Amino acid sequence: MRNGFGMKEIWTERYRPRNLDEVVGQKHVTERLKSYVRSENMPHLLFTGPAGTGKTTCALALVREMFGEEWKGNFIELNASDARGIDVVRGKIKEFARTSPLGASQFKVIFMDEADALTPEAQAALRRTMEKFSKICRFVLSCNYASKIIDPIQSRCAVFRFSPLTAEDVHGYLQRIVQEQGIDITPEALDALVHVARGDMRRAVNSLQVAASMELPIDMDIIYQTTGMARPEQVKAMLETALAGDFVQARDMLDEIMINYGLSGQDVIKQIHRTFFELSISDGEKVRLIDRTGEVEFRLIEGSNERIQLEALLAYLVMMGGSKR
Task: Give the span between the Cα atoms of 284 and 267, in whole angstroms.
Answer: 25
Q: Which residues contact 311 (CB under 8 A, 6 or more apart)?
A: 251, 254
Domain ranges of the chain: 26-161, 171-227, 232-322
CB 47 within 8 A of CB 140: yes
Single-letter code of the amino acid located at 248 = V
Cα atoms found within 13 Å of the Cα of residue 176, Cβ hemisphere only: 14
Is it true that domain 26-161 has CATH number 1.20.1250.20? Answer: no
Alpha helices in the chain (DSSP H): 11-14, 27-39, 55-67, 86-88, 94-97, 120-132, 151-155, 167-181, 187-197, 201-212, 220-227, 232-243, 247-261, 265-275, 283-301, 306-322
Residue 273's CB is within 10 A of a number of other CB atoms, namely 16
CB 319 within 8 A of CB 245: no
For domain 232-322, the CATH architecture is Up-down Bundle (1.20)
Note the pLDDT tens digit of each residue in 6-48: 455 788 888 888 889 889 888 999 999 999 999 988 999 999 9
Task: Give the span between the Cα atoms of 287 and 245, in whole angstroms.
Answer: 20
Average the pLDDT over 262-280 and give the result: 88
Answer yes or no: pTM beyond 0.85.
Answer: no
Statement: residue 227 has pLDDT above 90? no
pLDDT score for 57? 92
Average the pLDDT over 166-187 and give the result: 90
Note the pLDDT tens digit of each residue in 306-319: 999 999 999 999 99
CB 97 within 8 A of CB 133: yes
Note the pLDDT tens digit of each residue in 177-224: 999 888 889 999 999 999 888 889 999 999 899 888 877 788 888 888
Is it true that domain 171-227 has CATH number 1.10.8.60? Answer: yes
CB 193 within 8 A of CB 174: yes
pLDDT score for 298? 95
pLDDT score for 60? 92
- Band the pLDDT of 1: cuts 50, 70, 90: very low
Residue 141 DSSP symbol: E
pLDDT score for 197? 87
Mean pLDDT, rounded, of the chain: 86
DSSP bridge partners of 185:
218
Note the pLDDT tens digit of each residue in 84-138: 556 666 677 777 777 777 877 888 898 988 888 888 888 888 888 888 888 888 9
pLDDT score for 3? 47
Task: Give the span between the Cα atoms of 2 and 5, in whole angstroms.
Answer: 10
pLDDT score for 81? 63
Judged by phi (left if over 0) then psi (alpha if -120 to 50, else beta), residue 294 lies in: alpha
